[in-house]
C-alpha cells in the first residue's frame, strides 16, 4: 500500500530524503502542469517548480492540516503572482498563436457544429490558447481544477475568496471556453 | 425547485465531489427535465476534455529535479558547488592548519630570540637575529649552519605572506594563492 502524504512527511522529517522524492514524484505532473500553463515559458516553469519545493521544504514546520497538494498549489500560485505581478497579461485576443494566426481569427464560426469541432484536433489547441487569454483569477480556478483536481473549497481558500466566488470564476471561464464550441 | 443557474453551479460541485447526496438527487431531477442544463453539462465535459488535450503538458527538467533533491538533503537550501570551488575550499581547509602551525613556530622562535637576546653576549643565531632578516638569511657566518639559515629564510617568507594575506585590498584568489605558497613552504 502506498504511503500517505503525512507518512512521507514524517519519514522526511526523520531524515529520509527518499520520502520527499516520492512526494515530488507524486505531485510532479499536476503541479508542473499548473505552473507551466500559468507561466507560459518552459524555463520559467522549471524555476518556479523548483522554487515551490525549496519553499515547501524550508517551511515544512509551518505546514498544517491541509491537503499537501493544495498547499503546494498555494505556494506555486503565490510565486507565479510575485513573478508576473509587474508584467502585462502574456496573451491577449490580439496576440498570435504558435502558428502565427491571431487568436480572434481562430475562434470558430457560429455555423459549425460542436460535434464537428470536437472531432477536430485543432480545436483542442484553440481551447488551450483561449485558456491562456482568461483573466488570471479565472485561469487559476480552471487550471487548479483541471491539473490538480482541487476542490472548490480548496481553491477558494487559496484565492482567499468564498466558494461562491470560486464557482462563479469557474462558471465564467467555462462560458468563455464554451464559445469556442459554438 | 432548482433553477438553471443553481443547477449549473451544482454541476460543478458534483464534478469536484463536493455536492451532498440530497443535492445530487435534486440535480438529477432537474437535468431529467431541463434540456438547457444537459447541453451545459455536455459542453463543460467537452471543453474540459479538449483543454486537457490541448494544454501544453510537460515534465520538470532533470536539473530542477536534481536541485530539489539537493535541497531536500540540505533542508531547502540548495548548494551548487562547482569543481573549482570544491578544490579551493579543500585547499584552504588544508592550508589554514599549516599556517597556524607556522605561526606557532614563529612565536616560539621569536620567544627564543627574545630570551636569548636578554642573556649575556649574543653569539651565533641570536646575534644574527639582531640584524635584518634578509641579511641574516644570506649570511654564511660562524655557527650558522645551513639548516638554521633555511629555517630563518622560510620564517621571513611566511612573515611576508602573513602580512600580505592580512591586507584587505587583495582579492580572495590572491589570498588563496598566498596560502598555497605558505603550504608549499
pLDDT score for A86: 60
Rounded average pLDDT over A84-96: 54
Beta bridge mates, A102:
A96
Count interface pairs A-B at CB distance under 8 A. 123
Q: What is the ipTM of this complex?
A: 0.78
- Closest-approach residue (CA) in chain A for B10: A167
pLDDT score for A74: 95
Model confidence over A145-171: pLDDT tens digits?
999 999 999 999 999 999 999 999 999
B71 touches chain A (CB under 8 A): yes
CATH 1.10.10.10 placement within chain A = 90-182
- The topology under which CATH files domain A90-182 is Arc Repressor Mutant, subunit A (1.10.10)
**Which range is least confidently modeled, A28-42, A50-64, B65-79?**
B65-79
Model confidence over B126-151: pLDDT tens digits?
444 445 544 544 554 545 567 677 77
More confident call, A99 vs A74: A74
Chain A positions in Cβ-Cβ contact with residue B79 (cut-off 8 Å)? none
Q: Which of the residue ranges A9-13, A80-84, A142-146 has the most confident prediction, judged by mean pLDDT? A: A142-146
pLDDT score for A25: 94
Residue A95 has pLDDT above 70, yes or no: no
Tell which of A12, A134, A171 to mutate to test the B interface (max B CBs under 10 Å): A171
Low-confidence ranges of chain B (pLDDT < 50): 122, 124-130, 133-134, 136-137, 140, 142
Chain B positions in Cβ-Cβ contact with residue A106 (cut-off 8 Å)? none
CATH 1.10.1740.10 placement within chain A = 1-87
B183 touches chain A (CB under 8 A): no
Interface contact A124-B54, CB threshold 8 A = yes
Look at the block and give the residue holding cell 538533503.
B73
Task: Give the minimum alpha-carbon distance from B148 to chain A in angstroms, rounded to a whole number.
Answer: 55
Model confidence over B110-122: pLDDT tens digits?
888 888 765 555 4
Model confidence over A110-134: pLDDT tens digits?
445 555 555 557 788 888 889 999 9
pLDDT score for B31: 96
Look at the block and give the residue holding cell 463536493.
B18
Class of domain A1-87: mainly alpha
Amino acid at each position: 500500500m502506498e504511503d500517505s502524504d503525512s507518512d512521507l512527511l514524517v519519514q522526511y522529517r526523520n531524515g529520509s530524503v527518499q520520502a520527499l522524492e516520492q512526494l515530488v514524484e507524486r505531485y510532479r505532473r499536476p503541479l508542473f502542469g499548473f505552473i507551466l500553463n500559468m507561466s507560459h515559458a518552459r524555463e520559467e516553469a522549471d524555476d518556479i517548480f523548483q522554487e515551490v519545493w525549496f519553499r515547501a521544504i524550508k517551511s515544512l514546520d509551518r505546514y498544517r492540516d491541509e491537503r499537501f497538494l493544495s498547499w503546494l498549489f498555494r505556494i506555486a500560485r503565490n510565486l507565479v503572482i510575485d513573478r508576473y505581478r509587474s508584467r502585462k497579461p502574456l496573451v491577449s485576443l490580439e496576440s498570435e498563436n504558435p502558428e502565427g494566426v491571431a487568436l480572434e481569427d481562430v475562434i470558430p464560426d457560429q455555423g459549425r457544429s460542436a460535434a464537428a469541432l470536437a472531432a477536430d484536433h485543432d480545436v483542442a489547441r484553440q481551447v488551450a490558447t483561449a485558456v491562456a487569454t482568461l483573466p488570471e483569477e479565472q485561469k487559476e480556478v480552471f487550471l487548479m481544477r483541471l491539473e490538480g483536481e482541487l476542490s472548490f473549497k480548496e481553491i477558494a481558500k487559496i484565492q482567499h475568496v468564498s466558494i461562491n466566488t470560486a464557482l462563479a470564476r469557474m462558471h465564467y471561464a467555462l462560458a468563455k471556453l464554451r464559445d469556442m464550441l459554438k | 425547485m432548482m433553477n438553471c443557474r443553481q443547477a449549473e453551479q451544482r454541476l460543478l460541485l458534483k464534478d469536484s465531489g463536493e455536492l451532498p447526496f440530497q443535492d445530487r438527487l435534486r440535480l438529477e431531477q432537474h437535468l431529467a427535465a431541463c434540456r438547457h442544463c444537459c447541453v451545459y453539462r455536455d459542453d463543460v465535459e467537452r471543453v474540459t476534455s479538449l483543454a486537457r488535450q490541448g494544454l501544453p503538458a510537460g515534465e520538470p527538467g532533470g536539473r530542477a529535479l536534481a536541485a530539489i533533491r539537493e535541497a531536500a538533503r540540505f533542508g531547502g537550501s540548495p548548494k551548487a558547488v562547482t569543481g573549482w570551488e570544491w578544490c579551493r575550499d579543500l585547499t584552504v581547509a588544508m592550508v589554514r592548519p599549516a599556517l597556524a602551525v607556522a605561526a606557532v613556530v614563529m612565536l616560539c622562535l621569536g620567544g627564543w630570540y627574545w630570551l636569548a637576546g636578554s642573556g649575556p653576549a649574543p653569539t651565533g643565531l641570536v646575534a644574527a637575529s639582531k640584524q635584518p632578516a634578509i641579511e641574516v638569511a644570506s649570511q654564511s657566518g660562524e655557527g650558522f649552519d645551513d639548516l638554521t639559515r633555511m629555517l630563518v629564510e622560510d620564517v621571513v617568507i611566511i612573515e611576508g605572506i602573513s602580512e600580505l594575506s592580512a591586507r584587505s585590498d587583495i582579492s580572495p584568489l590572491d589570498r588563496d594563492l598566498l596560502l598555497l605558497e605558505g603550504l608549499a613552504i
